Chain A
Amino acid sequence: MELFRNTNYDFLGKKWPFIILSLLLTAAGLTSLALKGGPRYGIDFKGGALIRVAFAQRPPVDKVRAVLDAKGLNADVQEVQGKQEDIIGIDLREDRALQAARQNIVGTLTASFGQPANGKYNVNAGGADVLANQLRVPLQNAGIAMNDQQVNDLAANIIGYRTQHSGLIHNLDDLRSVPGVTPQVLNVLKQQLYPDTLAVVGVDQVGPRIGAELQHKAILAVLYALGGMLVYIAFRFEWIYGAAAVVAVFHDTIITIGLFSLFNKEISLTVVAALLTLVGYSMNDTIVTFDRIRENLKLLRREKLEPIINLSVNQTLSRTVLTSGLTLLTALALFLFGGQVLNGFAFALVCGIIVGTYSSVYVAAPILVFFNNFMESQKHPSVAPSAPKPVVPKGPAAQPKAPKQNVRGGTAKVK
């Protein structure tokens, strides 16, 4: 099976609409960033806290907001798609205030949506060791002979069951299936424990100083990495190739960050990892194209740069479409089914693969052409690149030679 065979599309002939599209996208992204005062950083970068609360039955989000507002707690509540979970964000920088607000929020939610304890221990909070300590004496009192290790195992099994069921035990009767829970044990459990209908399943809290430093370091690392790639490509090809590749990668990153801003998505550390991935991906794609251009420049020394680029893009078209298509497939799977945690990550990948593939042809390659034309016009200041041939053929024998001579200056130099 073959999709593309000996294609001959004039890619660069239609470059202007795409360059304009690129500029528009970049401008739109930058405008959105400017209007919103920079990217929407997650708490990783700006400091603050995110609390993830799982509910047995999630209350309406308005109600959660109302309850928190009533207590004067300024928090941002988001529902997790496809799950009975809310993410509550606190935008406080100061350590103590943050700590207090966090406790207050969890307390308020438990009071409003949780179950009364009635002197029992909440099986949906804490770890196995605390649970084991809670159960040891009551089990003994109930006349169930279990040694320390057995009690620890029982507690570990119960917590294991909870972990398997998204962090919440709905009903103590569900524990029947857990190894070690006999009817007598279950009786003790019911006397001692109650399952609360909500649980904190995750907390992220970052101080502002660390956040600022992470941001600073991440940007710096990426800039150095781009510099490193530029130098390597310049060494292997020519410096303009390195510059073109880096501009293309930069273009992709800006557009992706712009899209994040347009869709109001947060830039978290995971998203930074995805941005790094897209830098790598886009660079890979650009180099494959460049490699082919270099090879064709050696083979077809008489040809102009633009047709060579067209030829190279056509020759690698099959590969480009296949690779991009396949990786896009994986990224899409991650985006659609990968869950909330990976959502931002997958979004960046999907954008990055599309933009990264396209930028090799319509950002990196045109830069080579423009630079080449510019050098050309510098060498022959009186002659515009599209002007008629400057060498006037003197006789019929000289005619086929003349264009060769003329064009030679137009091919890029190759090491």
Chain B
Amino acid sequence: MKRNIKIKAVLIVAVILVCIYGIIGVPKSKAELIANWKHNIHLGLDLSGGTQLVMQVQLQDAFKTNADRTIDRIKDELQKDGIQFATIDRNDPNSLETADKIEIDIKGVPVEKSSAFRSTMSDQYPEWILTPLNSTDYKLTMKPTEALKLKQDTMSQFTATIERKINALGLTESSVQPTGRSDAEAELLVQLPGVDDPGHVKQILQTQAVLEWDEVKDGPYNSRDEALAKHGGILPLGTKLVPTATRGGQQGWYLVSRSAIVTGTDIRDSRASQDPTTGRWETGFVLDQQAAKRFENYTANNIGNRAAIVVDGQVISAPTIQSRISDSGRITGATNQEEASDLALNLRAGSLPAGVVYEEERTVGPSLGADSIREGFRAGIAGLLAVIVWMLVYYRRSGINATLALVLNAVILVAALSYFDATLTLPGIAGVILTIGMAVDSNVLIFERIREELRAGKAVVAAVDAGFSKAFGTIIDTHVTTVVSCLFLFIFGTGPVKGFAVTLVIGLVANVFTAVFVSKTIFDWELSGKRQVTALSI
């Protein structure tokens, strides 16, 4: 019996030590203790302060870009093979749901070339399905497997770019991850601890930073209508109208080539700098080798023509090509240093393969988080103290058992959260509260049972044993039922509901250990010391 208690005691002490180590490590000073605590206990954004963004990636943009590139390649290919066609164009899916309904229409392929056309297409574009509409017109649709792959590639490229942007902003503790919701494959959850003014960050994150050098066909016009009027209401094939960045309320329009000479993905480096003569801020960039070669060829052949620098669908400037340019350029027109360096940051991080819509934003100012922790903590401690005092008054010596069990339960819960690297959020605290409620209940159940047995005339040791074993069945039933419900909450619930379920399950497991095992061991230890026990302080 005594030996048994010793083994149990050693086990309990070991658990306590492992838990305390998990929470505060082995601190050598008070400062280190606090540092370890902060390192091990992760508070959710709703408690610590910070910003949480849910962004929906506009995947249809990536599909359009992909189709545009394919169209350019097809044009080249058909020209090379001597196959004529009248028009080639794509449709314009403008929602996430219709992204993979992208479609390229090729019209007017001569009947006698149809077999050559078909074989070219099936050889060169295996990721597309060719469907003839009639003897001369064809439709290309993307294979479902390819569409899925494009979605996945876009998402991972997007995530990587957002991560680079966040790191460039110095927000190292931030995280970017999928929201994990089913049917929300295009959603990313961005968490920015400590950021209480997300305006600037949001601006940078949603800037696509698509930089293009486009061939200027015509312009500038004063308005879109003027441009259209000049071309008889229809834009020439392979061109697009792009507005200039608004400066002083003036906006102009340029007619430029639809496919770019060079795009932002070809950029090697970008820095903000100040023009030594005018003192204005500008953003310089350096192209990578391949793009530099393309650019050099183009500029050499087009001296005297104009090229437009387009950033995120706005013409920044449309300089006349003076001489052959190889690998670097400058974007002027920034109004201050911040604007110039933001653009440089965005160009360096790379362009986003698709646009963004913010679906959710939650900002908790650190002070609000601190206030709510302080208030909630104070109230929680007050409530807990009241519970402990009552237990001590009502159950006297045995109340100490209950209190120890309760405290140990809390320690194990916090340690488990630390070991699992879990984050404590407000709903998690709800789980803690229910844990405490059920822990108190377990103790009360056991003690009331022991009292009943004592009243029935049993000897102290027998009463304690009977009380524990009878209450144990009930405790198991209540706990397992709750764990079962937590399982469902975890599987089907969203973030906050999951947090609740995880904390509660940990708390309940800890409770079975503390309220039953630990408490019983303490009773046994108290009772084993005396030869004849006639009274129990309960």
Contact = CB atoms under 8 A, between A and B. Distances in A.
Contact of B361 (A205, A281, A330): A205
Contacts, number: 253
A228 B448 contact: no
Given A2-B451, A220-B492, A273-B427, A330 B387 contact: yes
A283 B485 CA distance: 10
Interface in A318-334: 318-319, 322-323, 325-327, 329-334
B226 to A, nearest CB: 27
Contacts of B485: 225-226, 228-229, 279-280, 283
Nearest to A216: B494
A199 B359 CA distance: 24
B497 A165 contact: no
Contact of B496 (A52, A273, A287): A273
A272 interface: yes
Interface stretch (B239-247, B248-256, B368-376): B368-376
A333 B363 contact: no
Contacts of A292: 474
A120 B438 CA distance: 55
B497 A167 contact: no
Question: B interface, by DSSP: helix, strand, loop or mixed?
Answer: helix
Contacts of B357: 95, 207
Interface string A151-182: 00000000000111111100000000000000
Interface in A104-144: 125-127, 129
A273 B426 contact: yes
Given A201-B367, A284-B438, A315-B452, A338 B427 contact: no
B441 A288 contact: yes
A288 B474 contact: yes
B430 interface: yes
Nearest to A200: B365
Contacts of B441: 284, 288, 319, 323, 327
Contacts of B504: 280
Interface stretch (A32-40, A61-69, A341-349, A387-395): A341-349
B366 interface: yes
B203 to A, nearest CB: 11
A270 B473 CA distance: 32
B488 interface: yes
A276 interface: yes
B304 interface: no
Contact of A224 (B378, B431, B470, B492): B492
A307 interface: no
A288 B379 CA distance: 28
Contacts of B147: none
B195 interface: yes
A337 B379 contact: yes
Contacts of B365: 52, 167, 199-202
Interface in A260-316: 269-270, 272-274, 276-277, 279-281, 283-284, 287-288, 291-292, 295, 315-316
Contact of A127 (B196, B378, B426, B482): B196
A217 B494 contact: yes
Given A129-B170, A280-B485, A345-B430, A339 B493 contact: no
B382 interface: yes
A276 B489 contact: yes
B484 interface: yes
Nearest to B388: A326
Contacts of B181: 213, 217
A273 B488 contact: no
B493 A218 contact: yes
B371 A327 contact: no
Interface string B174-209: 000000010010000000001111000000000000
Contacts of B431: 273, 277
Interface in B261-288: none
Nearest to B377: A338
A383 interface: no
A269 B383 contact: no
Nearest to B187: A210
B494 A1 contact: no
B394 A1 contact: yes
Given A224-B491, A322-B394, 15 more contacts: A163-B367, A165-B367, A200-B365, A203-B363, A232-B480, A233-B481, A284-B482, A292-B474, A330-B380, A330-B433, A332-B383, A337-B378, A338-B376, A342-B426, A345-B426
16 contacts: A6-B455, A129-B170, A204-B363, A220-B492, A221-B488, A269-B496, A270-B427, A273-B431, A281-B434, A281-B437, A283-B482, A284-B481, A287-B477, A326-B440, A327-B441, A342-B372
Interface of B: 49, 54, 170, 181, 184, 194-197, 357-368, 370-372, 375-376, 378-380, 382-384, 386-387, 390-391, 393-394, 396, 426-427, 430-431, 433-434, 436-438, 440-441, 444-445, 448, 451-452, 455, 470, 473-474, 477-478, 480-482, 484-489, 491-494, 496-497, 500, 504
The 5 lowest CB-CB distance pairs between A and B, nearest first, are A330-B383, A339-B375, A167-B367, A201-B365, A333-B383
